[in-house]
Amino acid sequence: MLRPWSDRQIEDCGEPLCSLSPDFFCLQPHPYQALGAPYGAGLNPFALREGVCSRLLKAQRDLQSRAPGLRFAIFDAWRPIAVQQFMVDHALAEERGRRGLPLDARTDDPLTQKALKDVEEAVGRFWAPPSRDPETPPPHSTGAAVDLTLADETGTPLDMGGAIDAIGVVSEPSYYAVAAQSGQDSEAVLFDQRRCLLRHVMEAAGFQQHPNEWWHFSYGDQLWAWRAGQKTALYGRSEPSA
């Protein structure tokens, strides 16, 4: 499945992956490692391209100047293709279960076929295909994308009105905007303010937000190029240096 950004050419600038600074709070245990995702021995999921790390630090400093006591909580960063495949399969199984579709559902039944297709489309809005084509890498495999949220000074994540990786419209960045405008739903106002704050400081540092995910931002990958109106992406698929 091609994405709207798949047509952006990649001219990788060659920056290495770098471990995130201790200035950031990284959620432990890593959410996908806890599920058994195959990162492999010694691989660090909390890594990004060198230039992306610098921009993320700039964004956190901006956040702390605007909202003292807040910081970023990093959920996920660099992701190898094997982990992307694992998590796509996991998300499909979870969504099938949520909709009451057994794993051994009959695929020759038209209604079941339609239900399974609906699951694939729903999951596909949030999870990029685990493509090994160097011209269409999943955003996280480039080291240019980060999933994050806001946290208090102890590192406890704030309630953003929807869990990271939730499948559904509640994950859309502006989901609470209409309710917040009326001012009658105090929770909607709070959630919208928090999502807007996160988006503002990240965009001020040059990041672009995934259109369906309040938590996903990137700089330099194909998604970034598409949203920023750039013809060329700066980062392709990346692997740790030996």
Active site residues: 213
**Phi and psi at residue 190, in whole multiples of 5°?**
-65, -45
Cα–Cα distance for residue pair 87/118, rounded to 1 Å: 18
Cα–Cα distance for residue pair 39/56, rounded to 1 Å: 23
What single-letter DSSP state applies at residue 15? P
Residue among 77, 87, 83, 122 nearest 221 (CA): 77
The CA-based angle 22-27-32, given to 5 degrees, is 125
Half-sphere exposure of 35 (CA within 13 A, CB side): 12
Cα–Cα distance for residue pair 153/56, rounded to 1 Å: 17
Cα–Cα distance for residue pair 232/224, rounded to 1 Å: 9
Helical residues (DSSP H) of the chain, grouped into ranges = 31-35, 50-66, 81-98, 110-124, 177-182, 186-204, 222-228
